[in-house]
């Protein structure tokens, strides 16, 4: 284990925000994690030392230097740990890149993750955020995970129910925030694929691709094509993907909005609730393509806030707050940030 001081995090967050960590280290084993946590305990004797576990840095916005210790999770490995008549059980270490994991599963004909292709970040963030795209969420394919209890220094197993998954939510973002380090995740993937192509433009893209025989590889390629056409590459333009959650509103509230804006993009959640497309709401308020200094709203997808080069975290936050205010003022709906603010 090597602890570095005043370490730049610019290359470790997809927004490309230039901040530093007072202490920084990475860990590729439980032993290295425990060493780093012991170091934190020792420096905390003199003054508080906040802890941040960093994965791919794809869902975080830094607003200032981090006056504590940042530990980058580099645990690696993917393996088939069990199977039954209908399912494969695939365990992936938390430090694995998410899309590499998806590619591994598709290559081995493990079905269930293809709609989640090309999502940035690491495996460890997938249950924390309950990531989702094109009609699939992690809770749909999740079996269990192992996490290190920082206080008790033990490894605990969490089932589907234990994780309390919600829309981009889990117990690790709420009740147990900052108390565990996710080590690995086991996914329950199907032997006989059930294709999910009804969401978004997947069917249209499959037709454009000339696909005749549907399989998980074709669906993955269609999702990749759609994402690359709409979303900026963080290596070219700093961003964290979708900055806001799609807001859920009551059926009555949706109807009020629909009467005034009949082309509103919305999805029925159940008999009493609808989910509105945050990107559509933002675009109707004139933010699509907006830029102020190096902070902006992407020209192809208004749900994505971007750093064109030297924006500070505060610049992105200020823009986000202006967008939230304008959407609430026009539609009576308050957007919620999906990105973690540090």
Q: Looking at the domain assignment, is residue 54 inside a domain? A: yes
Share of residues in the chain with pLDDT > 70 (%): 99
Is the same domain home to 48 and 125?
Answer: no
Of 14, 43, 73, the position where a domain reaches its end is 73
Of 175, 190, 205, the domain-final residue:
190
Q: Round to whole Å and give the CA distance between 68 and 48.
A: 8
pLDDT, position 285: 95
Looking at every residue in the chain, the average pLDDT score rounds to: 92
Residue 44 vs residue 341, higher pLDDT? 341
Question: In this predicted model, what pLDDT tens digit does every residue of 128-172 receive, in sequence order?
Answer: 989 888 889 999 999 999 999 999 999 999 999 999 998 888 999
Residue 209 lies in a domain: no
Is 242 tagged catalytic?
Answer: yes
Give the per-residue pLDDT at 200.
67
- The predicted model scores a pTM of 0.86
**Host domain of residue 292:** 238-341
Query: Of 73, 107, 129, which one is at a domain's C-terminal end?
Result: 73
Determine, yes or no, domain membership for 327.
Answer: yes
Average pLDDT over residues 252-258: 91
Q: Using 50, 70 and 90 to split pLDDT, how confident is the model at 56?
A: confident
Are 34 and 115 contained in the same domain? no
Select which of 96, 144, 168, 220 is catalytic.
168
Tell me: do 107 and 56 sit in the same domain: no
Residues 103 and 185 in one domain: yes
* Pairing mode, strands 248-250 and 136-137: unpaired
Residue in 58, 93, 117, 242 annotated catalytic: 242
**Does residue 167 sit in the same domain as residue 269?**
no
Count of domains observed in the chain: 3
Res 168: pLDDT: 85
In a domain, 249, yes or no: yes
Residue 52 shares a structural domain with residue 155: no
pLDDT in tens, 300-326: 889 999 999 999 999 999 999 999 999
- Whether 204 is in a domain gets the answer no
Query: Tens of pLDDT along 89-123?
Result: 999 999 999 999 999 999 999 999 999 999 988 99
Q: Is 338 tagged catalytic? A: yes
CATH code of residue 133? 3.30.465.10
243, 323: one domain: yes
Return the CATH number at 307.
3.90.78.10
Q: Is 8 a catalytic residue?
A: no
């Amino acid at each position: 284990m090597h602890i570095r001081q005043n370490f730049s995090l610019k290359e470790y967050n997809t927004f490309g925000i230039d901040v530093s960590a007072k202490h920084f280290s990475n860990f590729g084993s439980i032993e290295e994690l425990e060493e780093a946590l012991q170091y934190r305990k020792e420096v905390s004797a003199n003054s508080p030392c906040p802890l941040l576990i960093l994965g791919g840095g794809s869902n975080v916005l830094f607003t200032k230097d981090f006056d504590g210790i940042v530990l980058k999770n580099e645990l690696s490995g993917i393996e088939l740990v069990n199977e039954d008549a209908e399912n494969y059980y695939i365990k992936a270490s938390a430090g694995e890149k998410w899309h590499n994991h998806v590619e591994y599963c598709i290559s081995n004909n493990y079905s269930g993750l293809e709609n989640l292709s090309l999502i940035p970040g690491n495996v460890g963030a997938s249950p924390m955020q309950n990531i989702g795209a094109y009609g699939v969420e992690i809770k749909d394919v999740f079996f269990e995970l192992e996490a290190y209890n920082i206080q008790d220094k033990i490894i605990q197993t969490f089932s589907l129910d234990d994780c309390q998954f919600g829309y981009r939510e889990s117990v690790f973002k709420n009740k147990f925030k900052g108390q565990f380090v996710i080590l690995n995740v086991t996914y329950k993937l199907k032997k006989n694929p059930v294709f999910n192509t009804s969401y978004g433009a997947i069917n249209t893209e499959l037709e454009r691709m000339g696909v005749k025989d549907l399989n998980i590889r074709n669906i993955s390629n269609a999702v990749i094509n759609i994402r690359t056409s709409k979303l900026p590459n963080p290596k070219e333009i700093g961003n964290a993907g979708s900055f806001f959650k799609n807001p859920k509103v009551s059926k009555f509230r949706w109807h009020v909005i629909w009467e005034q804006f009949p082309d509103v993009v919305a999805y029925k959640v159940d008999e009493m609730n609808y989910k509105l497309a945050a990107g559509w709401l933002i675009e109707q308020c004139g933010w699509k393509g907006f830029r102020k200094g190096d902070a902006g709203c992407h020209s192809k997808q208004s749900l994505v806030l971007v750093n064109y080069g030297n924006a500070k975290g505060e610049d992105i936050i200020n823009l986000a707050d202006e967008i939230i205010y304008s959407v609430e003022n026009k539609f009576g709906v308050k957007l919620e940030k999906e990105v973690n603010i540090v």
